[in-house]
């Protein structure tokens, strides 16, 4: 009986390590695919029940951002992005591939239009890269300057 429990423990440890390592994001590919790329600060988060592009009823958060810098696309001073997940009353929905945003946080947003006409991150959660106080993407070696250079190179490569 001891062998199955040791095997199970090893399998669980392997799955945990594997699941905790995200593949690196190709910033150039993100920039080419996104309609707009901005550096922005969260000014407000409002969560409510709604439907996503696939008709699923769930909690959606409308996150308002003050745009600090436009790296690709037409400059706008604000943008409202819809993220799956959030809290309504005492009910919280956490979506594994979508980050949560709080007022005051900064991020680089790779944006595209949703089927419903709103704005969403391009390629879901990988289209939103939070920035720390040192302009780094937490958990990576990526800096805001690296992202700027990759977006510029992607645009010079022929896709807008």
Domain coordinates in residue numbering, the chain: 24-156
Please state which CATH class domain 24-156 belongs to: mainly beta
The yes-or-no verdict on residue 76 having pLDDT over 50 is yes
Read off the pLDDT band of 144 (50, 70, 90): very high
> Is pLDDT larger for residue 81 or for residue 10?
81
For residues 85-96, give the mean pLDDT. 96
Which among 112, 131, 125, 25 has a CA at the least distance from the CA of 68? 131
36 within 8 A of 129, measured Cβ to Cβ: no
Please, what is the average pLDDT of the chain?
Answer: 87
The pLDDT tens digits of the residues spanning 1-34 come to: 555 554 444 444 433 333 334 556 799 999 999 9
Q: What is the predicted pLDDT for the residue at 127?
A: 95
pTM: 0.81
Q: What share of the chain is helix, strand, coil (3-state, %, to 5)?
A: 25, 40, 35
Read off the pLDDT band of 79 (50, 70, 90): very high
The yes-or-no verdict on residue 43 having pLDDT over 90 is yes
């Amino acid at each position: 009986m001891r062998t199955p429990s040791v095997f199970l423990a090893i399998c669980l440890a392997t799955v945990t390590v594997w699941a905790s390592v995200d593949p690196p994001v190709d910033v150039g590919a993100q920039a080419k695919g996104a309609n707009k790329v901005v550096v922005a600060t969260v000014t407000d988060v409002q969560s409510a029940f709604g439907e996503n592009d696939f008709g699923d009823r769930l909690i959606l958060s409308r996150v308002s951002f003050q745009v600090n810098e436009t790296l690709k696309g037409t400059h706008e001073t604000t943008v409202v992005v819809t993220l799956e997940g959030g809290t309504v009353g005492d009910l919280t929905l956490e979506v594994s591939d979508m980050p949560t945003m709080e007022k005051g946080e900064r991020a680089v947003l790779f944006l595209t239009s949703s089927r419903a006409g709103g704005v969403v991150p391009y390629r879901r959660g990988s289209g939103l890269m939070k920035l720390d106080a040192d302009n780094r993407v937490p958990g990576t070696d990526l800096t805001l300057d690296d992202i700027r250079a990759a977006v510029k190179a992607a645009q010079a490569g022929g896709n807008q």
